[in-house]
Structure 1
Amino acid sequence: MTTPPREVAASLEVNVTAATELEMQITVAKLPGLTVDETLSVTVDGDPIEPEEIVGEHGSRIHRLQVDSGLVVVDYSASVTTPADPIEVEVTDHSIYLRPSRYAEADKFFGYAAGQFDINLPPSELLQQVTSFVESRLSYIPGASDPIDGAADTLLAGAGVCRDYAHLVVALLRALNIPARLVAVYAPGCDPMDFHAVAEALIDGRWVVVDATGLAPRQTMVRISTGRDAADTAFLDNHRGTINLNSYKVTAIVQGDLPTDTGEDRIAIG
């Protein structure tokens, strides 16, 4: 499958009123095979600043800076011409991504998942059943969920946004003994356009992307960050101090027509 060239961008305006340490995860993940031309600009009250870059697991990049006070303006753009190679499966993946986590509390779903799905089915069939289940049980309603809601909250509410869909998929898969994790992506075709969250499941020795929202074709997604859940992948975080996110904007497009995603193929994020 040919992945078309993609153009992605993000801009943020953050007002810092008390000294803080800002962390951002908005840049394309640094992975083998990826060809990307990018620019990142950060200013504080108009003065340029060079943030510290920290590269974590699966190429996730945190840009960290110390700010006493002032208006932080961040502009990022990237042209992705060659997709990243599929992420290799590590022996620790079978342990780390089966554990319950802050927003994907799989331990709360063991009994429920066993009653809802046939645990004797192969993982590939369970993956399709879980995806269809979450798609049918939830309604995509911005504002219906709270940022601290976990997968159990989402199931009870029956509504949420992309991260809520992804958390419920991840929690159910882990409860069915299928390693799963959350990935923040740029998603051309996503409507409404925003940072997008999807799940990845380890099926037959390969990480494949799962998006129960169906908001964007999986073939065009660009990995930003990867983790156990949204606690590891937030696009903006801070430690101590006080900040206010005044505004942010995300764009993601492909050259040519968007591909059609039937939801049936196994696709890796490139």
Structure 2
Amino acid sequence: MPRRVTAELDLDLGASVDLIFQIAAARGVPVVDENLTFAQGERRYTATELVDQAGSRLHRLTAEEGPLSVRYDALVAGPAQSPRTSDLDTIGYLRPSRYCQSDEVFAQARRQFRGLAGRDLLAAVSGFVASTVTYTPGLSFGTDSAVTTLATGQGVCRDYAHLVIALLRAMDMPARYAACFAPGLEPMDFHAVVEAFVEGRWEVVDATRLAPRAHFVRIATGRDAADTAFLTTLSGIAALASVEVTAVALGDLVVDDPEDTVLLR
């Protein structure tokens, strides 16, 4: 099903700010039409595009002091190609990472999910996080981790994803973080979900259950939110004044059963 996605970012910059944006659909996503602009008044900047091993597209530019407007829109049609996976990838996605401390939740995961594997494990972990964490915008912080979310029982999509990843890795299932556009999401924003490696392929899990997975559009993939931030300031000072994201399926949204197997498209 075709999907139209957009992102509008407005920033106030100091002098000579070096920025990285990850807001464009990933390599392998079937983009029919796409436009990405960076502007300061009449001045237009051309960003350097870098593509990582997972197909995430990073756009880097150095801009001068003043307001910067970033605009992205794309029409996406059809299923995407999943990023290639190697043995090295699956090893990396088993290790603890900054926000997914699988070593710190190891004991609880082993007690709670003992004897489970494959899709049974995936369903149990997703169900546990969905039932014990409350979606609470504005009450979590960018430095919160899976351990924080487990303790507080609250957060937003990134927090749900970090906790699912940490618990799955603690049970020896490779899991990774994916940022995406999500038609049907309410409130609308960039969305974060999990991909778990089951029976030789990456299956998408969303413990928030706020939008149908079949319509998601991949933006970036990594170990956790540190790898997939939509904006990174490498040097200088940048204040984010506003962000507006839209994602619309050009047709009826499917009904999402959490037990169904879905691949990120």
* Residue identity matched to 1:126: L
Letter in 1 for 2:51: V
Q: Which of 84, 91, 104 matches 1:108?
A: 104
**What does residue range 119-130 of structure 1 map to in structure 2 within 5 Å?**
120-130=115-125
* Equivalent in the alignment of 1:243: 238
Work out whether residues 206 and 213 of structure 2, in 8 Å CA contact, stay in contact via their aligned partners in 1: yes
Give the aligned CA root-mean-square deviation in angstroms: 1.1
Q: In the alignment, which of 3, 9, 12 is matched to residue 6 of structure 1?
A: 3
The one of 73, 95, 103 equivalent to 1:77 is 73
The AA in structure 2 aligned to 1:153 is T
Question: How many Å apart are 1:255 and its aligned residue?
Answer: 1.0
SS in 2 for 1:107: coil
**1:55 pairs with 32, 51, 57, which one?**
51
Q: 2:173 maps to which residue?
A: 178
Aligned residues: 265
The answer for the alignment partner of 1:20 in structure 2 is: 17
**Which consecutive unaligned segments of at least 5 residues does structure 1 have?**
none
Number of the residue aligned with 1:40: 36
Is the Cα contact below 8 Å between 2:26 and 2:56 reproduced in 1?
yes
Measure, in 2, the Cα distance between the counterparts of 1:94 and 1:84: 20
- Among all aligned residue pairs of Structure 1 and Structure 2, give the percentage whose two residues are the same amino acid: 48
State the secondary structure of the residue aligned to 1:108.
coil
How far residue 242 of structure 1 moved from its aligned partner, in angstroms, is 1.0
Assess if the C-alpha contact under 8 Å between 1:184 and 1:195 holds in 2: yes
Give the alignment partner of residue 212 of structure 1, picking from 188, 192, 207.
Answer: 207
What's 2:127 paired with? 132
Deviation, structure 1 residue 76: 0.4
Does structure 1 retain, via aligned residues, the 8 Å contact 2:55–2:83?
no
C-alpha separation between the residues in 2 aligned to 1:57 and 1:251?
27
Question: Residues of 2 paired with 1:38 and 1:20: CA distance?
Answer: 25
SS at match of 1:79: strand
In the alignment, the residues of structure 2 paired with residue 57 and residue 189 of structure 1 have an alpha-carbon distance, to the nearest angstrom, of 29
Partner of 2:159: 164
User: Is 1:65 the equivalent of 2:82?
Assistant: no
173-182 or 62-71: bigger deviation: 62-71
Moved over 6 A (4+): none
Does the 8 Å CA contact 2:97/2:223 hold for their aligned counterparts?
yes
The one-letter code of the counterpart of 2:14 is T
Q: How far apart, CA to CA, are the structure 2 residues paired with 1:48 and 1:212? A: 40
TM-score (norm 2): 0.97
- CA drift at 1:20: 1.8
Partner of 1:30: 27
Tell me the CA shift for residue 15 of structure 1.
0.5
Contact 1:45 1:70 in 2 (8 A): no
| Shift in Å, 1:256 | 1.3
Can you list the C-alpha shifts for 1:216-268, whole angstroms capped at 9, x where unaligned? Answer: 10000000000000000000110121111000100000111110001111111
Does the Cα contact within 8 Å between 2:31 and 2:74 map onto a contact in 1? Answer: no
Q: State the alpha-carbon separation in 2 of the partners of residues 122 and 111 from structure 1.
A: 16
Letter in 1 for 2:97: S
